[in-house]
Structure 1
Amino acid sequence: MTTGTALSVLTVLLLAGCGSGGTPDPGPTTPDGTPVAAQPDPRGLLAARVAVAKDQRYVAAYTLTVPGKGPRSVLVSIATDRTWRVDIQGGALGGTADVAIAGRPEGVYQCPINPASSCVKVAAAGKKLPPAIDPRVQYVFVGWLDVLLDRQIPLTVNPAEPLAGTSAPCFAVEPGVTAIAPPIDPGTFCYNDNGILTAAKLPLGQLMLTGEVVAAPSTISLPGPVADDAPLGTATPPPSPPSASVSASAPR
């Protein structure tokens, strides 16, 4: 074998040892040589549960505990035709009025309930409500699911300690600091294996699932007729001015 041929063979052997046919890189190891197990991606784990949640159709009751105020009931209905309705006790007028927020193909409606009144279209389908009339609870069950699934949206997701009252896995979510208008509120979200939200801790309060989840209706119905009325605001209305007293001046 000539010197040139020997060098060529040696070069081929060295390249083969360094290429894909060589011993695979074991990756990071502990000091004793044990391979370090890959850590699960919290955002991926949350997204897997949210993907199941997005396919669910159900009726579920929750308790919303608002800081500084008493607990309120929330009833969530996600119908088989993808229409939805969230009834919120104390969702308007500073907690003194109950409202339903409902989503249908023709738009999003606000409907006072207990007693029922007319419904007002307050946004286009799939859009957010104006801030002054927005209780925000409905986004937990509809709009924020797409946010949690979209990897292009900057979010920080970490495992969180289970909230009291639930054994489901919980995840702490923070929107990106560069977001001018954050697409989601920061908070902790807990989903069970069936994709049902069992608890959530948010700036608006803490949600907790109560009772059994039941089958969904085929579609949601509005609790009143649609009218061109003014929607109810979320803030406490200002007190009524005192009635002016009319004093009669004595005739001269």
Structure 2
Amino acid sequence: MRLPSAFTVAVLVFGLAGCGGESAPEAVPETAASVADPEPEARDQLAGLAALALDRRYAALYTFDVGDGSPRDVVASVADDGTWRVDIPLGALGGTAGVTIIKVAAGVYQCGLTTSTQPVSPTCIRVAERGDKVPRRYDPKVQRLFRQWLTVFTDRKAPLAVSAVRPLAGAQGGTCYAVDSVSAALDPPVDVGIYCYSADGLLTAARVEYGVLKLVRQVAGPPTLQLPGPEVAGEPMGMSSPPPVVQPSGLTPS
């Protein structure tokens, strides 16, 4: 059962209803991706699409499948002023809490995410300066697929091997590329996997180690994005499950 956030519902009701020409194309037939040898032409093509993606402004609904039988509804938005936001249900605390990663002028923030099954009053904590990466212990990773790797894809000197592949099964169009690292460093420069983009630079699908993302539909992006709740001090949500509550000895749970 998918778990839509309040922001997802708002996008679906007010933004995506009756969007007509803004909708994504029909899904291609189910087919497995076939990886070929690295191709210079594919590297250039991916760089060109990534350059278009950097300028793309949109609000889009995706499904994100981590293989547990419960796909999430992820919403990604990039506003006209360059602010962006990604809502990830069950993306924190070991899959027990929803999380929003949002970049505004003051920096990158982690915020709580309210869903129909987990209603909360969101608060936000700054986790990185503007342009910096989210620290690993607070990083739900999914937001990286939309913005973080684009500058790497456009950098012809980045240690990447790129080859064209057939579309991912169920992907809504786009051209797909297998991206691998040729760096000797422990951490690859991007999340290794398959990335699919439409001709105008919209991410239509991705398959990486931590899940499969597929576009459902999209509309034009908003003028700007703001924090969904007040900024507070404190510790951001981690990615690991919280420790179990230990009852004091001699007490019987009520």
The two structures have a TM-score, normalised by structure 1, of 0.79
1:93–1:232: 8 Å Cα contact kept in structure 2? Answer: yes
Rounded to whole Å, the distance in 2 between the matches of 1:144 and 1:55 is: 14
Q: CA shift at 1:50, angstroms?
A: 1.2
Residue 241 of structure 2 corresponds to: 236
Q: Which deviates the most, 138-147 or 233-242?
A: 233-242
Does the CA contact (< 8 Å) of 1:116 and 1:223 recur in 2?
A: no
Deviation of 1:40 after TM superposition, in Å, equals 6.5
What corresponds to 2:154 in structure 1? 149
Is the 1:158–1:172 contact (alpha carbons within 8 Å) kept by the matching residues of 2? Answer: yes
Deviations 1:149-187 (A, max 9, x none): 001111000111210112321000001231233220100
Deviation at residue 131 of structure 1 after TM alignment: 1.0
Matched, 1:204 2:210: yes
Which residue is equivalent to 1:120? 125
1:94 counterpart residue number: 94
Residue 227 of structure 1 aligns to a residue whose secondary structure is: coil
Name the counterpart of 2:55.
55
Deviations along 1:62-121, whole A, 9 cap, x unmatched? 111003352111100100000101011111011111111001121100000211321000
- Looking at structure 1, the residues matched to 92 and 69 of structure 2 have their Cα atoms a distance apart, in angstroms, of 14
Of 188, 191, 207 in structure 2, the residue corresponding to residue 185 of structure 1 is 191
Question: In the aligned structure 2, how far is the partner of 1:147 from the partner of 1:188?
Answer: 15
Per the TM alignment, residue 188 of structure 1 is displaced from its structure 2 partner at its CA by 0.1
The amino acid that maps onto 1:160 is V
Cα deviation, 1:205-241, whole Å, max 9, x if unaligned, reads: 0000012x11111111111000102110111112111
Give aligned-pair identity as a percent: 45
1:245 deviation in Å? 1.4
| SS of residue matched to 1:226 | coil
Aligned to 2:178: 172
Secondary structure class of the residue paired with 1:237: coil
Q: Which residue of 2 aligns with 1:82?
A: 82
- Is the 8 Å Cα contact of residues 126 and 143 (structure 1) preserved in structure 2? no
Matched, 1:159 2:164: yes
C-alpha distance in 1 between matches for 2:251 and 2:169: 58
For 1:71, the equivalent position in structure 2 comes to: 71
2:12 aligned partner: none
Larger Cα-atom Rg: 1
Report the more deviating stretch, 128-137 or 76-85.
128-137
Structure 2: runs of 5+ lacking an equivalent: 1-38, 115-119
Is the partner of 1:240 in helix, strand or coil? coil
Paired position in structure 2 for 1:44: 44
The RMSD of aligned alpha carbons is: 1.6
Q: Which amino acid aligns with 1:92?
A: A
Q: Which has the higher contact order (CA 8 A, sep 6+)?
A: 2
**SS in structure 2 opposite 1:143?**
coil
2:15 maps to none
Show the counterpart of 1:133: 138
The runs of at least 4 consecutive aligned structure 1 residues that moved more than 2 Å come to none
- Give the alignment's TM-score, normalised by structure 2: 0.78
Where structure 1 has 5 or more consecutive residues not aligned to the other structure, the ranges are 1-38, 248-252
Hey, what's the Cα distance between the residues in 2 that align with 1:113 and 1:135?
13
**Which one-letter code corresponds to 1:131 in the other structure?**
R
